[in-house]
Amino acid sequence: MSLTRRALLAGAATGAIGLGYARRSGFTGTTDSGDGRTTLTFATWGSDAELAAFRSLIAEFERTRPGVRVRLQVEPYAQMFIDMDAQLQGGRAPDLFRCDYMTLGMYSGSGQLLDLSPYFTEAERAAFLPAFWAAVCQDGRPYAVPHHTDTTAVLYRKDMFEAAGITSVPARLEDAWSWEEFDEVAQRLKEKLPPGVYPFSYDWQQGGAYRWLTWLFAAGGRLLDDTLDAPAVPSPQARKAMDFTQGFFRRGLVPPNSGVKSYGYPDSLFTSGTVAMAFAGDFMLPTIAPALKDELWGATFQPRDVAAATDLGGNTVVVTRHTERAELAVDFAKFLATPAAMRAFCEQTVVLPTLGDLLHADFSYAVRPDLMDVFFEQATVLTPAMTAQTGVAAFGRINAVLQDELEAAFVGGQSSEATVERIAAGTRKALAG
């Protein structure tokens, strides 16, 4: 079905700014030989679609600022932050780089990033959805521009559901399966599917252990207390979430090789027919769509317990603290988050916007636009309280704790009680530095 959001009326606030602007603003960085243009370096990783979108937006930025060039420095994701750490330590950092929300706190908390407070008016701050603005702030100060987000929904194979006699799925967020209803669906599939085919897989691989927190939040729990300085686990909610998710493996509802330290994403299990459902981010749709006919699969919402919850995916754009071209770098970062630029990037790469006005816009997504309403609606349950807990400076270390302990519980047989206790101890140690 087509999206029903009202058409976006606002265009990009770009305006021509030439070399004279750069000189008046004190940009003294390197210039390309022969043409005298001021050069910004923007480091990123990306899929083919993401890199094409960035190059198109860079061309537009350069067109409206004739004295400026943006050099795209492309890194593999696996190497991105290793290289960034070395460049920051060696004084060779780019002017800007792409940074996921989970990693942001490590850089903002260590003084590596430019405080963007002077560059954003109250109206500009308010244009972003509160959860995403909160995600880029440390002690009330913004250190990144929320560029886009992605979130998880449940993809399902219609043919497998039909074979199992499951004739309907929730079509509205408020009608999402309860945990008990989801468990019944999974058990029904397990009984009807052939050997070697599993009810579902979950997207907590490749550094995504933090997505387990969706179950904790849905149970009404927290990882950190209100101060964000101490763990809020162990708790009855944490035990409930751990018992439920550990049961996925113990009861054979997921492939045994789909733990948090496995290498593949759920998309390959879904397209190969190994699972009937995949908890998957919208950014996976361009990979899945060519492998399956549209009529074979659909999307519905994540199950809920006492609350609906989801994970914080997506990326920000940051400006390094010691850039000699701070104002120009901020100008480029803000340009990427103008309504027109953000909309173009989201449409090409099949991700979600962070600007409030764009939630009501009519998007022309490159892949499966009929499914994107589900992801839009799922993202609305994300709260500032959820993002604040994953935005602390120590979260990179906390995520490593989650990865180790969840793997021990899911694959190694560690008890639910011991796992929650060890997550609490590891989180406390991570917060202490």
302 within 8 A of 310, measured Cβ to Cβ = yes
More confident residue, 389 or 265: 389
Tokens of 245: 């998710």
350 within 8 A of 47, measured Cβ to Cβ = no
- Residue 419 CA to its chain's centroid (Å): 25
Which residues does residue 300 pair with via DSSP β-bridges, in sequence order?
A: 154
In terms of Cα–Cα distance, which of 403, 406, 419, 164 is closest to 275? 164
CB neighbour list of residue 201: distance below 8 Å, 6 or more residues apart? 254, 255, 258, 266, 269, 270, 274, 275, 277, 278, 279
Tens-digit pLDDT profile for residues 40-77: 999 999 999 999 999 999 999 999 999 999 999 999 99
Residue with tokens 């010691």: 322
- The domain ranges of the chain are 38-150+313-382, 152-309+393-432
Residue with tokens 């950190």: 224
Q: How confident is the model at residue 208 (pLDDT cuts 50, 70, 90)?
A: very high
SS3 156: strand
Tokens of 259: 């733990």
Tokens of 392: 């602390």
* Whether pLDDT at 307 is above 70: yes
* Whether pLDDT at 112 is above 60: yes
Tokens of 285: 């749709």
Q: How confident is the model at residue 265 (pLDDT cuts 50, 70, 90)?
A: confident
* Whether pLDDT at 304 is above 50: yes
276 within 8 A of 269, measured Cβ to Cβ = no
* Whether pLDDT at 21 is above 90: no
**Parallel, antiparallel, or unpaired: how do β-strands 297-300 and 38-44 relate?**
unpaired
CB neighbour list of residue 281: distance below 8 Å, 6 or more residues apart? 150, 151, 152, 203, 313
> In the sheet where 96-100 sits, what is the strand order?
68-74, 38-44, 96-100, 315-319, 145-148
Cα 11-12-16 angle, rounded to 5 deg = 125
8-state DSSP, 352: B
- pLDDT at position 100, please? 94
Cα 142-74-312 angle, rounded to 5 deg = 40
Tens-digit pLDDT profile for residues 133-171: 999 999 899 999 999 999 999 999 999 999 999 999 999
* Whether pLDDT at 37 is above 90: no
SS3 44: strand
Cα 300-303-309 angle, rounded to 5 deg = 105
* Whether pLDDT at 373 is above 70: yes
113 within 8 A of 319, measured Cβ to Cβ = yes
- pLDDT at position 78, please? 87
138 vs 386: CA distance, rounded Å: 15
Q: How confident is the model at residue 24 (pLDDT cuts 50, 70, 90)?
A: very low
Instruction: Kindly report the length of the chain.
Output: 433
* Whether pLDDT at 350 is above 90: yes
SS3 315: strand
Q: For the chain, what is the mean pLDDT? A: 91
**Percent of the chain scoring above 70 in pLDDT:** 92
- pLDDT at position 34, please? 54
In terms of Cα–Cα distance, which of 381, 433, 366, 403 is closest to 229? 433
366 within 8 A of 78, measured Cβ to Cβ = no
In terms of Cα–Cα distance, which of 174, 215, 169 is closest to 188? 169
322 vs 164: CA distance, rounded Å: 59
SS3 276: strand
* Whether pLDDT at 175 is above 90: yes
Identify residue 51 by its one-letter amino acid code: L
| 38-150+313-382, CATH topology level | D-Maltodextrin-Binding Protein; domain 2 (3.40.190)
212 vs 232: CA distance, rounded Å: 15
- pLDDT at position 17, please? 28
371 within 8 A of 352, measured Cβ to Cβ = no
Query: Please, what is the end-to-end C-alpha distance for the chain in angstroms?
Result: 49
200 vs 183: CA distance, rounded Å: 11
CATH 3.40.190.10 fits 152-309+393-432, yes or no: yes
